[in-house]
Structure 1
Amino acid sequence: MTVTAPTALRRDRLVRALDAANMPSLVAVLYQLTGDRTWLQDPYRPTRSRGMDDNDGGGFAPEVADIIRAAALDAITSGRPPALPSPTGDDLVEMISAAVGESVPPEFAEMVAEDMGFTHAPAPTQTPCDFSVVVIGAGVSGMLAAIKLQEAGIEHIVLEKNSDVGGGWFENTYPGAGVDTPSHLYSYSFAPRSWSTHFGKRDEVWQYLSDVAAEHDLRDRIRFDTEVDSAVYQPDTQSWTVTTMDGDTLTADIVITATGQLNRPKVPNIPGLDAFDGPIFHTAEWPDDLDLQGKRVAIVGTGASAMQVLPAIAETVGHATVFQRSPQWVASSDVYFEPIDDDVSYLMEAVPLYRLWYRVRLAWNFNDRVHPSLQVDPDWENPSRSINAINDAHRRVFTRYVEKELDGRPDLIEKSLPDYPPFGKRMLLDNGWYAALKRDNVTLVTEGVASIGPDSVVGSGGHVAEVDVVILATGFETHKLLSPIDIRGRSGVSIKDFWGPEDAHAHLGITVPDFPNLFLTCGPGTVLGHGGSYITIAECQVRYIVDLLRTMANNNIGSVECKPEVEQDYVRRHDDAHSRMIWTHQGMDNWYRNDAGRVVSTLPWRIVDYWNMTRHADLDDFDVESARR
């Protein structure tokens, strides 16, 4: 690991940049550059982050912060290589723990070391093989699969139903659309970006993906405006026949699905839905020519997209009526609205170690840090409000935040406080939601929608809102994985019938018995419910798949099919883990669970656990056939 040579640094520019530094990240950089253990001890040890805040000040008194900055300036401009160029193991855990202000379990060292580049996976090599791959989808996962297949020298083509890359980030153009994961974390590990904001909005996120596609020449290998109708496995030839909606057919040895879980809008069957005279649409299908100036608007739902839409349109519309079936827990962020300072961007580019340590801290705060608090304490006395002592403390913190943001509006406080435990649904970040609710031209109705008339929306409790526009913020068909594609395996049975209408399951969320040479990304049980960046999970899955394809090529294997008992064991462990977690808590209603109460969407494991599970593919998990070609 190297830092920029001192000759490339302007000392005065660096001084200014260091004034804007995240101090806990800077302490870790300082120790790595110098090896001086003084920087891991008081008074130079940062405090613990509060919630999901950046903790830029680190809890340091101004005079202590000045000492740290001065020492960092000297270390960065000294010209000396880092004293600890590639910390691993206990040394790295100690450094991470110091940076985040709390103890980090030792099992995180290996994953973090690889993500930071302190240990290296084998360099990509071309794998001699004569099989081909069809990737379905060119969103985050499909792009990643194409990049890694290219590095491995494996022939492939990507079929994408849209006219460009990006998946959901191409499709969702509604006002306020953006990430609720920090931008520097919502990035491929191998493709950093100088982000303009801490939480990227849709246009910048899509531009990032577009730039990655250009850098890797992905568009040359993508067939756009091509939606897949079916994929049928041919046992005799150990291959798949993929048919598009246009009737074209392709033959491939391997199929990788990258269709995601948030790509098919869920439109409820509301009486009168087709009778409305004005514009009515799902957030994922926002009209390009829509004019909301002075209009009366109904927003159906209060999930993530609704919470982004309302603050973005509140100043434009004449009046907005929000229909809420149940309130959401919302967390604060001290940097949600803040642009990333030019000084910070300069520091990340001039001192690569700083960017790495800043990302590590984000990963800890937004990923596995909260996972232990999501385990149900069977002896907890207040299961209706929380699941354990830590979760109850979270409830108090979030409740105080709601009360502070809605101070003076007891009516809104009563409507906005959930009656279920925090994290029972995906935790949302406040992007101006509460400020928008307090506006005179916004009405929050605590009713579902019973019916829609030509110019009105009627709530289940009788509230009638006369409106000009209806916005359906009603989520996606998350349980109908791979729909509407008809995928048929060795036995000829459709995967829809194999799973049933909403009970998908797969070993590691990646591979399914009776479907040889079919690999899923963003499969069942792999959505992150406890926070973090899905891109991390996508990288785990694609690494596993490409590792297995390399093994097939190197051993003249024609097909691999997950053994039923392997998948059954994984699903049993998956369900058992969920039975002790918050998402199966009594009374919970979330999109992670199907109607039978089984959690279909969410990962029960910590990210570090899944990283280890998917690090290498084990051929013993598969029934293997030698290649017949």
Structure 2
Amino acid sequence: MTEQLSPPSIQDTAAWSNTLQAALADANIPTLLMVLVHLTASEQWLSQRYQCTKVRGIDDHDTGGLEPEIQQEVRDAAHQAILAWKEGRTPQLKQASAQLVQDMLSVSIGEAVPSGYSDMAAAGLGLDAEFALDQKAQFELPPGFHVVVIGAGVAGICSAIRLMQSGIPFVVIEKNNEVGGTWHENRYPGCGVDTPNHIYSFSFAKHDWARYFALQAEIQSYFEQVATDFGIRKHIRFNTKVLAARYDEQHAHWNVDIESSTGEKQILRANLLLSAVGLLNVPRMPDIQGLQSFKGHCVHTALWPEDLDVTGKRVAVIGNGASAMQVVPAIVDQVAHLTIFQRSKQWAAPFAKFKKQVPDSVRFLLREVPFYQEWYRQRLSWIFNDRIHHSLQKDPEWPHPERAINKYNDRQRAHFTDYIKEQLGQRQDLLNDVLPDYPPFGKRMLMDNGWFRTVARDDVTLITGGISRITERGLVTDKGVEHEVDIIIIATGFDALNMLGSFTLQGRGGQTIREAWAEKGAQAFYGVVMPGFPNFFAFAGPNTALGHGGSVVALLEAQVRYAMGLLKKALKECNGTFELEVKRDVHDEYNQRIQEAHDRMIWTHKGMSNWYRNAQGRVVATTPFRNDDYWSWLRATDLAHYHLKPAASLPAHSQQQAAMRSQHEKSTAP
């Protein structure tokens, strides 16, 4: 935790003290208690007197449920301890055992937590050496060793920083002219996170956030700033696409075909290939007759033109998923009329902090008080991660599977139904059109940005059912009614199931990833590695999407650390370049466990469809596992799961066999 121990450089100590005193009035008491433990090393702050009550819902629970006089006692003690730190006193807690971290979490959140969460918290607090940034002394690199990273989004930025801090030569290939990936590309009105940005950020790069849930511009600015601050831009080749990657079995490296925006092509060699293209990479267009014939503006939310003006226009929106739920309330006050074409209904949870700014006093604490933001993050991680996981398990004895999967899920349904009714106000006639007929969380649970209030407006029309065709002037429903519009907004999301679909990937023997996944769909061990594709890692791969909650940034950090941990061990074991490939039986057993777990969970509930499942009916997007379990598996970094060979020991004829197979396939192709 050395990165955040230097006191802020404020000259007027008295003014800073006064600002701190005022800010502490708005402090989160459970977080302050943890700050006190760190600064004083006194475990009195973990005694029963300061035991916080359980967090309800997704509220910050600022009082901790403690009596007012106890809250003030904590504020006063924190004021003294923080001022002592500012005046030069070092934090007294030098080390923290796993048990101490677990006790701290339990006091802070008001309930017992699994041991895996204390391990995750310790890593987030900087207590796990494997997550330290500076790892240069840990890697023994052979001459010429090189890594290629595909994509400069969240995973690509994290990979680049970890590689650079480990002294490993690398290059990042990015198709756009800037970092950010999804956040650079998606610029539609209302675009933002539905995860608190204090955990939708890197553990090693704190930020002074203006909102609790940031909009696109602030998030994009954060990732751009991180790339600049950590000096990785010089390693990124912007405006360049990866066309294909082919594994060279004889030399145990990848040949990566790239093309710049000017048409210049090149082949890069990589001892390790990291795919950071993610799930939300390729926009999905609806298959509607006549889509190209429309004479007005027709845009996908992921390709929003900067000069698109919807003011006074008749606008149609196709879809009602996450992007639609953001863009519709954002533009409704500008348009003349809004027509929403809804194929299926969506659950959405109350979103009290939507657009809510972080008060200056709280920003001061998060920015300048040691350990405050770190512990605030840990509490958020608990609140937004696995707390509902148990409620998403099917109860075979539950008598009402048509509306819920267990008694907890039924309570969730009642709560969300009451909320929808309240939001519709006088328009209860719309209830049947918007109230889902499947259990809550059966599809991605959305955060309500004002969707239900918006569809209840007089200048908004909600159309249920299908679209038969699109004409030059508008859209025709499956009932034959035409709706004339000036602009069509396509909010149908991304081709998330066609993973690694933006480039051709050929592994051992020339087999493509499409061929490898042809029978069952996308599969990977831990969601990152596949048999037949040695020395290759795919971040945010199959069965890693967080359908039950959590931060994808934290997930990606864990996956990148896993790859780095394996790289470290493989280099040491082989004393140079290597071939690392997950064992087939290990891969298959893990994926069998995934589907068995999904069979017990909500996303395989009968009579319901979602984008998590492929054509074969397998859930390939979301994970069925708890965040802490998955994190612990990755942290173990077990080489026993892999075939590992020094590159020099590989058979020289393997490349020739691959070439012969490739030539045979070409000659027999129709």
Name the counterpart of 2:410: 392
Deviations along 1:270-320, one digit per CA (max 9) or x if unpaired, are: 011111110112100111211101000111111110011011101101111
Are 1:525 and 1:599, in contact at CA under 8 Å, matched by a contact in 2? yes
Q: Point out the more displaced range, 557-566 or 66-75.
A: 66-75
Deviations along 1:151-196, one digit per CA (max 9) or x if unpaired, are: 2221111111111111111101101111111010000110010001
Pairing 1:48–2:68 present? no
Name the counterpart of 2:196: 182
Name the counterpart of 2:340: 322
Pairing 1:469–2:487 present? yes
| AA matched with 1:347 | L
Q: How far did 1:221 drift?
A: 0.8
Name the counterpart of 2:24: 18
Deviations along 1:194-247, one digit per CA (max 9) or x if unpaired, are: 001000110111111101111122221111111111111111222211112443
Are 1:3 and 1:81, in contact at CA under 8 Å, matched by a contact in 2? no
Matches within 5 A, 1:249-268: 249-268=267-286
Q: How far did 1:553 drift?
A: 2.2
2:449 to 408, 424, 431: 431
Matches within 5 A, 1:103-122: 103-121=112-130
Determine the C-alpha separation between the residues in 2 that align with 1:108 and 1:59. 22
Determine the C-alpha separation between the residues in 1 that align with 2:27 and 2:193. 23
Q: How far did 1:101 drift?
A: 2.3
Are 1:17 and 1:346, in contact at CA under 8 Å, matched by a contact in 2? yes
Name the counterpart of 2:398: 380
Name the counterpart of 1:585: 605
Q: How far did 1:568 drift?
A: 0.7
Pairing 1:200–2:214 present? yes
Pairing 1:445–2:463 present? yes
Change (3 A) 1:75 1:380: same
Matches within 5 A, 1:75-114: 75-79=81-85, 82=91, 84-114=93-123
Determine the C-alpha separation between the residues in 2 that align with 1:369 and 1:3. 35
Determine the C-alpha separation between the residues in 2 that align with 1:211 and 1:336. 24
| AA matched with 2:180 | G
Q: How far did 1:501 drift?
A: 8.0
Q: Aligned to 2:635, what secondary structure does the other structure show?
A: coil
Name the counterpart of 1:603: 623
Q: Point out the more displaced range, 187-196 or 346-355.
A: 346-355
Name the counterpart of 1:162: 176
Deviations along 1:43-66, one digit per CA (max 9) or x if unpaired, are: 644333331222234344545533
Name the counterpart of 1:460: 478
Q: CA RMSD in A?
A: 2.1
Name the counterpart of 1:541: 559
Matches within 5 A, 1:330-369: 330-369=348-387
Deviations along 1:97-145, one digit per CA (max 9) or x if unpaired, are: 2222222223311111111124433651242323211111111111111
Change (3 A) 1:290 1:48: same
Determine the C-alpha separation between the residues in 1 that align with 2:68 and 2:479. 55
Determine the C-alpha separation between the residues in 1 that align with 2:540 and 2:418. 35
Determine the C-alpha separation between the residues in 2 that align with 1:63 and 1:353. 24
Determine the C-alpha separation between the residues in 2 that align with 1:442 and 1:412. 12
Pairing 1:627–2:647 present? yes
Determine the C-alpha separation between the residues in 1 that align with 2:83 and 2:351. 33
Are 1:547 and 1:616, in contact at CA under 8 Å, matched by a contact in 2? no
Determine the C-alpha separation between the residues in 2 that align with 1:458 and 1:266. 21
* Greater than 6 Å deviation, 4+ residue runs: none
Q: Point out the more displaced range, 10-19 or 36-45.
A: 36-45
Determine the C-alpha separation between the residues in 1 that align with 2:6 and 2:379. 19
Determine the C-alpha separation between the residues in 2 that align with 1:223 and 1:250. 12
Q: Aligned to 2:160, what secondary structure does the other structure show?
A: helix
Change (3 A) 1:30 1:404: farther
Name the counterpart of 2:665: none
Pairing 1:213–2:227 present? yes
Are 1:54 and 1:335, in contact at CA under 8 Å, matched by a contact in 2? no
Are 2:207 and 2:367, in contact at CA under 8 Å, matched by a contact in 1? no
Determine the C-alpha separation between the residues in 2 that align with 1:83 and 1:404. 51
Determine the C-alpha separation between the residues in 2 that align with 1:384 and 1:298. 32
| AA matched with 1:594 | N
2:298 to 280, 286, 302: 280
Determine the C-alpha separation between the residues in 2 that align with 1:549 and 1:3. 33
Name the counterpart of 2:666: none
Are 1:52 and 1:332, in contact at CA under 8 Å, matched by a contact in 2? no
Identical pairs, percent = 44
Normalising by structure 2, what TM-score?
0.90
Determine the C-alpha separation between the residues in 2 that align with 1:374 and 1:96. 24
1:128 to 111, 136, 140: 140
Q: How far did 1:381 drift?
A: 1.4
Change (3 A) 1:239 1:116: same
Determine the C-alpha separation between the residues in 2 that align with 1:441 and 1:62. 48
Determine the C-alpha separation between the residues in 2 that align with 1:548 and 1:65. 46
Pairing 1:65–2:67 present? no
| AA matched with 1:182 | P
Deviations along 1:460-500, one digit per CA (max 9) or x if unpaired, are: 34443211110010011111111131111111111111102
Unmatched runs of 5 consecutive residues or more in structure 1: none
Q: How far did 1:82 drift?
A: 4.8
Determine the C-alpha separation between the residues in 1 that align with 2:520 and 2:316. 30
| AA matched with 1:88 | S
Are 2:282 and 2:502, in contact at CA under 8 Å, matched by a contact in 1? no
Determine the C-alpha separation between the residues in 2 that align with 1:227 and 1:218. 18
Change (3 A) 1:488 1:402: same
Q: Aligned to 1:365, what secondary structure does the other structure show?
A: helix
Are 2:251 and 2:647, in contact at CA under 8 Å, matched by a contact in 1? no
| AA matched with 2:62 | D
Name the counterpart of 1:568: 588
Determine the C-alpha separation between the residues in 1 that align with 2:93 and 2:406. 40
Q: Aligned to 1:290, what secondary structure does the other structure show?
A: coil
Are 2:150 and 2:274, in contact at CA under 8 Å, matched by a contact in 1? yes
Q: How many residues align?
A: 629
| AA matched with 2:21 | V
Change (3 A) 1:132 1:181: same
| AA matched with 1:93 | Q
Determine the C-alpha separation between the residues in 2 that align with 1:517 and 1:266. 30
Are 2:293 and 2:472, in contact at CA under 8 Å, matched by a contact in 1? yes
Q: Aligned to 1:471, what secondary structure does the other structure show?
A: strand
Are 1:505 and 1:600, in contact at CA under 8 Å, matched by a contact in 2? yes
Q: Aligned to 2:129, what secondary structure does the other structure show?
A: coil
Unmatched runs of 5 consecutive residues or more in structure 2: 650-670
Determine the C-alpha separation between the residues in 1 that align with 2:238 and 2:553. 22
Q: How far did 1:584 drift?
A: 1.0
Q: How far did 1:36 drift?
A: 5.8
Determine the C-alpha separation between the residues in 1 that align with 2:56 and 2:569. 45
Pairing 1:594–2:614 present? yes
Determine the C-alpha separation between the residues in 1 that align with 2:510 and 2:219. 40
Q: How far did 1:439 drift?
A: 2.3
Change (3 A) 1:501 1:441: farther
Name the counterpart of 2:653: none
Are 1:557 and 1:624, in contact at CA under 8 Å, matched by a contact in 2? no
